[in-house]
Amino acid sequence: MYYLKMFGISLGLTLLFELGLALLLGIRKKEDLIIVLLANILTNPIAVYLCYLARIFLRDWYLAAELLTELLVFLTEGFIYSRFKTEGKRIRNGFLLSLVLNGTSYSAGLIISLLK
C-alpha cells in the first residue's frame, strides 16, 4: 500500500502541476495536453523509483542522484515535446517547455515535502 500511495501521489501531483501550468502557458490543443500527460506517465514512475532506490542505497549521494534523475526526465520530456507533431506543427521549443514544467513541479514537490 505504501508504494501505491508513493507513486500515486507523486504522479497525481505532477500531473496536476504540469497540466495546469501547460494550460496557463496557452497549451490548449487536446493532443498537446495528452502528450504532456503521457510523457509524465512515462517518466514520473521511473524517476520516483530511482530516487527511492537512491535514498536507500546512495544516502551520501542522494541529492546528486536526484538531480541527475531530474536532468534525465527534463531531457526525455524535452525530446518528446520537441519531436511530437500535432496538425503538422511541433510544440514550440519542447526543451524550454520541459524545463518550465519540470522546474515548477519539482519546486512544488520540494515545498510540499518541506511542509510535511
Nearest by Cα to 106 from 69, 80, 75: 69
**Higher-scoring residue by pLDDT: 105, 89:** 105
Query: What are the tens digits of pLDDT across the range 18-34?
Result: 999 999 999 988 999 99
pTM of the model: 0.90
> How many domains, in total, are found in the chain?
1
Helix, strand or coil, per DSSP, at residue 40: helix
Query: What are the tens digits of pLDDT across the range 54-100?
Result: 999 999 999 999 999 999 999 999 999 999 876 666 677 899 999 99
- Domain containing 104 equals 2-115
